[in-house]
A and B are shown apart, each in its own frame.
Chain A
Amino acid sequence: MRLSAKSATLLVLIALVALSPILFPSGYYYRVGALIFVNAIAVTGIVILTGYAGQISLGHAGFAGIGAYACALAPVHLGLHPSLALVLGAAISGVIAFLVGRPILRLKGYYLGVATLGLGILVSMVLNNERQLTGGPDGMEVPDLGLRGLLKDAGLDLTNGQFWYFFCGLALILGAWLALNLYNSPTGRALRALHGSEVAARTVGIDVAQLKLRAFVISAVYASVSGSLLALQNKFITPDVAGFMHSIEMVTMAVLGGVGSILGAIFGAAVLTLLPQVLTVFAEYEQLVLGLVMMLVMIFLPQGLLPSILRKVRGKGE
């Protein structure tokens, strides 16, 4: 039997999450793995927005910031359990994306890029300036999710690193599953259609503005959940999570890996999360090397790393 692309992607992903720890030389790598998964969740949202629907956002870190600070603030001020705070953050991000996206997405071209840039900066400024609430640039503590303790009581004793590795891995698998469902669904097809030709999409009855808005809201929720998970596993958060560099990082990860495919984007997230770890040796030149790697990939592998590599491998096989 031939595997569908969706099942194949999910299987590869599950195998990666489950089997990678065999190769980990120390517990530290669980933490790196969890970071990769957290980034990959946000990047999966970018794949839906940019890869499926062809829209660019330069401010998605703003939603990550909302998700992160929801987990820091809502338990303290509203008495919510951190897990519900994650849901609240996702809801707030979705609503803000809806309100901001609605007027912008009626316009054509790069308005979304510019407007989201503004939104990201706005969120980051609020987080930096509302010191009394957020602690400003110094950041603030985030309460414990509490799930690891429950698992321990139930007889499953994981280290903190192991717990977050598997928890974020599961969240990523869930996020990828949703995105893959969407790809081949009526909504996903309509998104890809308007990416291909907006005028043709409109004449087959696709409400282009509405569909773009849906993609924008969905991707904002992915970014928000990613921010929440980052905050919860670090138990500490600073406004950097909402910073412009983080937005650019998300887009770069997606484009680097290949924005058209979920697995490619996750691969991009892995490479760009690992690279700075490797490059700490040349800490001073980190930005320089990163920029150089990115330029080379864009010039020589414009489709993204993974699709280009796969094509080369297949080409040799034939």
Chain B
Amino acid sequence: MTALLSVEGLGISFGGLKAVNDVSFTVRPGEIVSVIGPNGAGKTTLFNMISGVYQPGSGRVVLGGENVTGMAPHLLARRGMSRTFQNLQIFQSMTVLENAISGYHLKERGPVLADLFGLPSSRRRAAEAQAGARELLARVGLDRAAEREAGNLSYGALKRLEIARALALSPKILLLDEPAAGCNAVETEEIDHLIAEVAKSGVAILLVEHDMKMVMRISNHIVVLDHGEKIAEGDPATVSRNPAVIAAYLGTDAGTEAAHADG
């Protein structure tokens, strides 16, 4: 199958620092591609460029055959891209349900006058979005917290809420930046299953995760970054044997985990 997303020679500098330099890879529908690398390797920066939050300094992002380099995030959302954030970006003072509904924005939006006058068309759009959001909350185990103010939830619950909100867009490609960070073993396994399930339905997944066991278990393909450069890529077994990868991780917790995960 042809690539849904292809990243070609992407790079960006902050001041003198080359945060990401000449990184290329592709993601196909239904595939789980993980981006790993030590802290500060440039993983989040790469996500920010792909999702239009940062303007790339060089290179191209091609989505479904269309050049979408530097395109605004809300336009990428219309083209089927959706993401979560490493540092939570939750609508804190809205309820859990409202957070999930906001993921339906593109489906529920309509004429502003209909919204002001509370016309039946406006209510129907909102009701449909709400029904979908409730289903998604059930899927991530948050249905019972639906009416609570999001700001009061635990970190792990908010991570799952972000995933639900991202799934609400019915994306073609989903970017997950450390979805399991701060989650306990049980929650991590649940997220693990959820990601696999979503990929199975044909959604392309681009994943950044420090939990090496999880990465090795669910990825089809792994891209390794270090100091902004791609130092290796391949399937989990190949990557974890790669001497450059082991060297990059040496001395860090993740390095030992990576080595163990292979054995």
Q: Taking beta carbons and an 8 Å cutoff, which residues of A are in contact with B?
A: 178, 181-182, 184-190, 192-193, 195-197, 199-208, 214, 218, 260
Q: Name B83's closest neighbour in chain A (CB-CB).
A: A203
When distances are taken between beta carbons in the complex, the residues of chain B under 8 Å from A260 are 93
Are A205 and B106 within 8 A (Cβ)?
yes
- Give the distance in Å from the alpha carbon of A192 to the alpha carbon of B98 in the complex: 10
Q: Name B125's closest neighbour in chain A (CB-CB).
A: A186
Which of B82, B83, B91, B108 has the largest count of A CB atoms less than 10 A from its CB?
Answer: B91
Are B115 and A187 within 8 A (Cβ)?
yes
When distances are taken between beta carbons in the complex, the residues of chain A under 8 Å from B73 are 199, 202-203
Q: Which of A178, A186, A193, A205 contacts B94 (CB 8 A)?
A: A193
Are A181 and B105 within 8 A (Cβ)?
no
Q: What count of chain B residues pass the 8 Å CB interface test?
A: 41
Contact A199/B85 with A186-B105, A204-B102, A218-B116 known, Cβ cut-off 8 Å: yes
Are A196 and B92 within 8 A (Cβ)?
yes
Q: Is B72 an interface residue (CB 8 A)?
A: yes
Q: Is B122 an interface residue (CB 8 A)?
A: yes
Q: Which of A186, A201, A202 contacts B129 (CB 8 A)?
A: A186
Which of A186, A187, A196 has the largest count of B CB atoms less than 10 A from its CB?
Answer: A186
A43 CB to nearest chain B CB (Å): 17
- Give the distance in Å from the alpha carbon of A178 to the alpha carbon of B108 in the complex: 19
Are B117 and A181 within 8 A (Cβ)?
yes
When distances are taken between beta carbons in the complex, the residues of chain A under 8 Å from B108 are 186
- Give the distance in Å from the alpha carbon of A200 to the alpha carbon of B116 in the complex: 24
Q: Name B77's closest neighbour in chain A (CB-CB).
A: A205
Contact A199/B89 with A186-B108, A204-B165 known, Cβ cut-off 8 Å: yes
Bits for B104-138, please: 1 = Cβ < 8 Å to A, else 0: 01101110101111100010011001000000000
A-B CB contact pairs (8 Å), 25 listed: A178-B117, A181-B118, A185-B115, A187-B109, A190-B102, A190-B105, A192-B91, A192-B93, A192-B98, A193-B91, A193-B105, A196-B91, A197-B90, A199-B85, A200-B85, A200-B90, A200-B165, A201-B102, A202-B72, A202-B73, A203-B51, A203-B82, A205-B169, A206-B105, A207-B74
- Give the distance in Å from the alpha carbon of A197 to the alpha carbon of B82 in the complex: 15
Q: Is B255 an interface residue (CB 8 A)?
A: no
A158 CB to nearest chain B CB (Å): 29
A312 CB to nearest chain B CB (Å): 19
- Give the distance in Å from the alpha carbon of A186 to the alpha carbon of B102 in the complex: 8
Are A186 and B115 within 8 A (Cβ)?
yes
Q: Is B78 an interface residue (CB 8 A)?
A: yes
When distances are taken between beta carbons in the complex, the residues of chain B under 8 Å from A195 are 91
When distances are taken between beta carbons in the complex, the residues of chain B under 8 Å from A204 are 77, 82, 102-103, 105-106, 165-166, 168-169
When distances are taken between beta carbons in the complex, the residues of chain B under 8 Å from A181 are 115-118, 122
When distances are taken between beta carbons in the complex, the residues of chain A under 8 Å from B129 are 186
A50 CB to nearest chain B CB (Å): 14
When distances are taken between beta carbons in the complex, the residues of chain B under 8 Å from A207 are 74
Q: Is B61 an interface residue (CB 8 A)?
A: no
When distances are taken between beta carbons in the complex, the residues of chain A under 8 Å from B126 are 184-186, 189
B70 CB to nearest chain A CB (Å): 13
Q: Is B53 an interface residue (CB 8 A)?
A: yes
Contact A186/B110 with A181-B117, A203-B82, A204-B103 known, Cβ cut-off 8 Å: yes
Are A205 and B115 within 8 A (Cβ)?
no
Q: Name A48's closest neighbour in chain B (CB-CB).
A: B116
- Give the distance in Å from the alpha carbon of A204 to the alpha carbon of B129 in the complex: 13
When distances are taken between beta carbons in the complex, the residues of chain A under 8 Å from B122 are 181, 185-186
Contact A205/B74 with A185-B126, A186-B125, A196-B90 known, Cβ cut-off 8 Å: yes
B161 CB to nearest chain A CB (Å): 11
When distances are taken between beta carbons in the complex, the residues of chain A under 8 Å from B176 are none
When distances are taken between beta carbons in the complex, the residues of chain B under 8 Å from A190 are 102, 105, 109
B120 CB to nearest chain A CB (Å): 12
Q: Is B101 an interface residue (CB 8 A)?
A: yes
- Give the distance in Å from the alpha carbon of A184 to the alpha carbon of B89 in the complex: 21
Are B89 and A200 within 8 A (Cβ)?
yes
